Amino acid sequence: MATIEGFNKLDIRSGKIIEVYDFPEAKNPSYKLVIDFGGEIGLKKSSAQLTKNYSKEDLHGKIVMAVVNFPPRQIGPTISEVLTLGVPDKNGNTILVVPETEVPEGAKLY
């Protein structure tokens, strides 16, 4: 069973997507993202399988939630520095976890 101490080890922050690139080398259709988490954390890279539900234009400027304290992970030829959070839709395609209203970059989930 999970504990509050275990949950508190996760650093989940809000960030604004500022750049979106195609990622044709990925095993599954994906985008490469650059996300701004504000002054404390700064810019981080992520890759995410979002192509089924989002265009690049939809994603630019969107506030998302991400785990920022996992170790970087090699995804094909790129490094993903944060885990952008999402849930599957009825077809198993990713829907982003986003705040209901605008929040500042770097806001911590609690």
47-74 tens-digit pLDDT: 999 999 999 999 999 999 999 999 999 9
| Ramachandran class of 106: left when φ > 0, alpha when ψ lies in -120 to 50, beta otherwise | left
Q: Which CATH number fits domain 4-96: 3.40.50.300, 3.40.1710.10, 2.30.30.90, 2.40.50.140?
A: 2.40.50.140
In which order are the strands placed within the sheet that holds 83-84? Answer: 43-48, 31-36, 12-22, 63-67, 83-84
pLDDT of amino acid 64: 98
The full set of domain ranges for the chain reads 4-96
pTM for the full predicted model: 0.95
Residues 28, 50 contacting (CB under 8 angstroms): no
Report d(CA 60, CA 95) in Å as an integer: 15
What are the pLDDT digits (tens) for 32-42?
999 999 999 99
Res. 96 pLDDT band, cuts 50 70 90: very high
